[in-house]
Amino acid sequence: MILQVISVSLGAQVKTISFLPYLENERIIKDSSQYAENAHENISISTLKFYVSKIYFYKSGKKVFEETNSFHLMDWDEKMSFHVSVKNEFDEVGFSIGIDSATNVSGAFGGDLDPTKGMYWTWQSGYINFKIEGTSPICKTRNHAFQWHIGGYKYPNTTIQEIKLRCTTKKDIVVVVDLKELLEQSSLVEHPEVMSPSKQAVHLSSIFKTCFSIAP
């Protein structure tokens, strides 16, 4: 409340950025079977967590505002939105999915970056940028489970991805995360378990760009 009063007095406005998980144009509900074409038939998702970092705003292609200390963990079980106080008019928002390499090599952090958040590997250093777990009948694993812990900050296994989306100052920013392209059949069948920096993790992260869009 106090924060809001201060930001209003500076002429800033508080924008909420929220993320809505979708599959094939349908809102998905945690742990419930979801019908979709092909691979997505009876897919169920139990965990969805990812980092949104380095948020910045553009106006006519020029960077007008950058959030400081910008690290937000989106977690289906906890929160899927956060607030940013922006002073300027903007028509585009940019952010990264994942944690930059400088942060990855700089020791222990708190808040959303605390290693207790389940997004830090223990057997080797580095953040998991994007975690999705669930089941699909096409996975030939125990209980048909798939687990993708997508991370890696060192070349050639870099997995951080930048996203840039057109938006407007007038509304809060609602981002649709459509997992359709990510949960492709071949990946689920051939690589149901991705849990270290690898070629496959890089491939999966390259699909993030197609997953994020502004809600109509």
Partner 1 sequence: MMKHLLILLFAFVLLTAFNNEVQSLFHAPNYFPKPSYDFKKNPLTKEKVLLGRVLFFDPLLSIDGKVSCASCHSPYNAFAHTDHSLSHGIFDSIGNRNAPALFNLAWQHDFMWDGAINHLDVQALAPISHPKEMGENINHLVEKLQSSSRYPSLFFKAFKDSAITGENLLKALAQFQLTLVSNHSKYDEVRQGKNSFSEQENKGYQLFLQNCNACHTEPLFTNEQFECNGLSVDTTLNDFGKNRITHLSVDSLVFKVPSLRNLRYTFPYMHDGRFKKLGQVLNHYTNNIQPHPNLSKELKNGIHLSSDDKADLIAFLMTLNDSSFVFNTHHQFPKEFF
Residue number with CB closer to partner 1 (116 or 186): 116
Residue number with CB closer to partner 1 (119 or 173): 119
Residue number with CB closer to partner 1 (40 or 49): 49
Beta bridge partners of 131: 49, 149
Phi, psi of 115 (to 5 degrees): -60, -15
SS3 166: strand
The rounded Cα 97 to chain-centroid distance in angstroms is 5
The rounded Cα 183 to chain-centroid distance in angstroms is 15
- Regarding 68 and contact with partner 1 (CB under 8 A), the answer is no
The footprint of partner 1 on residues 176-205 (CB under 8 A) is 198
SS3 56: strand
119 burial level (CB within 10 Å; 0-12, 13-18, 19+)? buried
Residue number with CB closer to partner 1 (3 or 105): 105
106 burial level (CB within 10 Å; 0-12, 13-18, 19+)? exposed
Cα(55)–Cα(140) distance, integer angstroms? 39
- Regarding 78 and contact with partner 1 (CB under 8 A), the answer is no
* Shortest Å distance, C-beta 74 to partner 1: 19
The footprint of partner 1 on residues 97-156 (CB under 8 A) is 104-110, 113-118, 120, 122-126
Say how many Å lie between the first and final Cα of the chain, rounded: 30
Q: How many residues bind partner 1 (CB under 8 A)?
A: 20
* Shortest Å distance, C-beta 34 to partner 1: 29
- Regarding 9 and contact with partner 1 (CB under 8 A), the answer is no
Pattern of binders to partner 1 over 26-65, x per CB under 8 A? ----------------------------------------
Q: Which two tokens stand for residue 173?
A: 């920013």
* Shortest Å distance, C-beta 155 to partner 1: 11
Residue number with CB closer to partner 1 (118 or 137): 118
- Regarding 5 and contact with partner 1 (CB under 8 A), the answer is no
CB 167 within 8 A of CB 114: no
Binding site for partner 1 (CB under 8 A): 104-110, 113-118, 120, 122-126, 198
